Amino acid sequence: MTTVNERVDAFHDNDQKPVGYGRMLRKEDPRFLRGRGRYVDDVQLPGMLHLAILRSPVAHARIVSIDTSAAEASPGVRAVVTGAALAQQNLAWMPTLSNDVQAVLATDKVRFQGQEVAFVVAEDRYAARDALELIDVEYDVLDPVIDARRALAPDAPLIRDDLDGKTNNHCFDWETGDEAATEAVFARADVVVSQDLVYPRVHPAPMETCGAVADYDAVEGKLRLWSTTQAPHAHRTLYAIVAGLPEHKIQVIAPDIGGGFGNKVPIYPGYVCAIVASIVTGKPVKWMEDRSENLISTGFARDYIMRGEIAATRDGRILGIRTNVLADHGAFNGTAAPVKYPAGFFGVFTGSYDIEAAYCKMTAVYTNKAPGGVAYACSFRITEAVYLVERIVDCLADELGMDPAELRLKNFIRPEQFPYTTKTGWVYDSGNYEPTMRLAMEMAGYDELRREQAEKRARGELMGVGIAFFTEAVGAGPRKNMDILGLGMADGCELRVHPTGKAVVRLSVQSQGQGHETTFAQIVAEEIGIPPADIEVLHGDTDNTPFGLGTYGSRSTPVSGAAAALVARKVRDKARIIASGMLEVSVADLEWEKGAFHVAGDPGRSVTIQDIALRAHGAGDLPEGIEGGLEAQICYNPSNLTYPHGAYICVVDIDPGTAQVTVRRFIAVDDCGTRINPMIIEGQVHGGLTDGVGMALMEMIAFDEDGNCLGASLMDYLIPTSLEVPDWETGFTVTPSPHHPIGAKGVGESATVGSPPAIVNAVVDALKPFGVRHADMPLTPSRVWDAMRGQARPPI
């Protein structure tokens, strides 16, 4: 077995390879650096109109009347549309990704502040906004349901009276694991620790908000839609279902996207409004929401109220984990998750530990808030799962008086146990946790940090060290049990090699900054020997790319990356046959050396992939039964998810006078198997760690008791700037995924998943002298101050 350091050394050699994996500068950078990216709001079409949406000022109210006459008379206005008008076309409601329905424009009543009530189409964005002010809506205000804990109270106001027979605010129940077995291990455990934890509602807040340009051509009967979508093909199919347009007459174009982070997976009412507006006016129509609209109405993240319980022996052997979750889904269940997984992949809450039993029971409820839940690099609720397990493991360490690193090391799933089936049924593909943990501790100087902490504590200074060790589950997913509204979670890839040996790869996934145009060229280059510079990667245009489910859940590398490798191998197999004809030897006598076939034992007789491409398109006979051209297409159905892991250590200092938390150091060691481009992975990790600082210390979408959203602008919803984050310290180990064609696992969301518990663990560790065992996020100065005074309270 190689050591971690040997792996690191071996990896650095890859940096020098002319093609394939290793650090490679990004192909997409030149246009972004010159302001030549093309984002949705950059799209300008002749005669294009602008759409603006009127939103509800209250959380819960019956709509008594809407008067649009003054708005219609406003200069430059072309159309004003209400829910009643949409209802006539059967478009007032649309299906969500969770088999619920969501109002496009409210008809009967509004169910959250910021909900879409009417829209205006005008000649420019200023005129559209002017007209919004002139729409007169009379509301009959109803009591809202804001606290999820009270949503199922007998006297709670009914939110979803649109659903037949609905008499309460219950959304769904879900459970996993073995309740009886878990009871049994808890009954015989030496130690049981229980802790209430809230993962507050936050928001992905990509720098570019959501928007669309719809252009319906009545002559062709064709709809073109530029939109901020992470899943263009899935969106096209859903529009076909919602709008009744045939799929081949809908072209969804996802251009450059200014960050997604899960925010751009669902279909939002604004997209549908833009489509309707273009059909109604016969003109292209642009809708671009502003920041407040983004924060108040598009997909939130988290909002899980959890009780975590952990059972162990006195010497620190973890026996079982039990949890009870109350999930706040807002007014419509718009969670983006595979249909059979209403709680996403929360079932991986047993984490990186080999335990005997586990059980989770969850109840989800409706409240008068915006829909969402799965977003913000959560990998389908794994942020919540990892936060739960990594917090309660720390609570257990505290109870046992054990070092949290030691407790984790003692309970890790061992490398020889993989593939490892968890007590909730997840089959972890591979992992070698201890070396990853040891590397992080070595990079951090863990023992020295503990000594420093003891010295500082003696002086009354507040320093904390927090650890999180996580196992992710990414790459949804096997089609036998994973689908989005009936669409299996597979991804296509098409590779065409041109006559001169240049190539184009078409993907079904959609980058939002993750560097696919670079890394997918590297995958194909590694497989077929064409330099990455000669490989153009196209994505985001449903007319010109193969079908697939899009980019979220860190699924691009696991699913589409596998497809790219396999399609290249398919092309290489054909190239081998053509080469055998060119060299007049049998296929079995050929050896592949990156970029060329040569005759075994006679390296001088060889043909390059470029020679073969020309032959495939050119003159001269091809071997019997072989068609001209050099291209292939596949649709990859993964056999399992990939399970990357990581060890994170956070060092915080807290000012005892102001309770301000400073993240002094953050050490992140990630293992995502084979690393395609270490530069890009590092950037992904940096971004995710910053998300973690935001969630742990700053970010929250809060509501007052009337349902007013208190985090609806960047004045109130605080996102880390360059001054709140340290220079990140990253490391890695390599444990390839055995079932993935190139051994690569996803990684994009790992840091967002892993960092919040590390930071909270560090803050709680720092506050130990105050007897603090837990404090909920966001750990703002005021909340930390309260915790220091023994008054820690949940944020909601």
Binding site for another protein (CB under 8 A): 23, 25-26, 28-39, 41-42, 44, 124-126, 205-209, 256-259, 261, 290-292, 512-515, 679-680, 682-691, 713-715, 719, 721-723, 725, 727-728
DSSP string for 609-655: HHHHHHHHHSSS---TTPPSS-EEEEEE--SS-B--EEEEEEEEEE-
Nearest-CA neighbor of 141 among 166, 113, 161?
113
Three-class SS state of 418: coil
Q: Token pair of 303, please?
A: 């909002």
Q: Which is nearer to another protein, 182 or 510 (CB)?
A: 510
d(CA 508, CA 174): 31
Q: Which is nearer to another protein, 41 or 100 (CB)?
A: 41
Q: Which is nearer to another protein, 20 or 513 (CB)?
A: 513
Distance of CA 188 to the CA centre of its chain: 39
Residue 556 DSSP code: I
Three-class SS state of 205: coil
d(CA 60, CA 588): 72
Three-class SS state of 170: strand
Tell me which H or E stretch contains 490: none
Cβ atoms of 371 and 97 closer than 8 Å? no
CB of 39 to another protein, least distance (A): 7
Q: Which is nearer to another protein, 34 or 340 (CB)?
A: 34
Residues paired with 93 in a beta bridge: 103
CB of 691 to another protein, least distance (A): 8
Nearest-CA neighbor of 76 among 150, 129, 119?
129
Length of the chain: 796
Three-class SS state of 419: coil
Nearest-CA neighbor of 171 among 425, 309, 426, 373?
373
Three-class SS state of 169: coil
Cβ atoms of 541 and 481 closer than 8 Å? no
Q: Which is nearer to another protein, 123 or 591 (CB)?
A: 123
DSSP string for 9-37: HHHHHHTT-SSSSS----TTHHHHHTT--
CB of 213 to another protein, least distance (A): 13
d(CA 322, CA 359): 5
d(CA 484, CA 508): 15
Q: Which is nearer to another protein, 15 or 455 (CB)?
A: 15
E runs forming strands in 207-331? 211-217, 222-227, 250-253, 285-288, 300-301, 304-312, 318-328
Residue 157 DSSP code: P
Tell me which H or E stretch contains 566: helix 562-583
* Backbone torsion region of residue 308, taken as left when φ is above 0, otherwise alpha when ψ lies between -120 and 50, otherwise beta: beta
Cβ atoms of 643 and 471 closer than 8 Å? yes
CB of 757 to another protein, least distance (A): 18
Q: Which is nearer to another protein, 402 or 725 (CB)?
A: 725
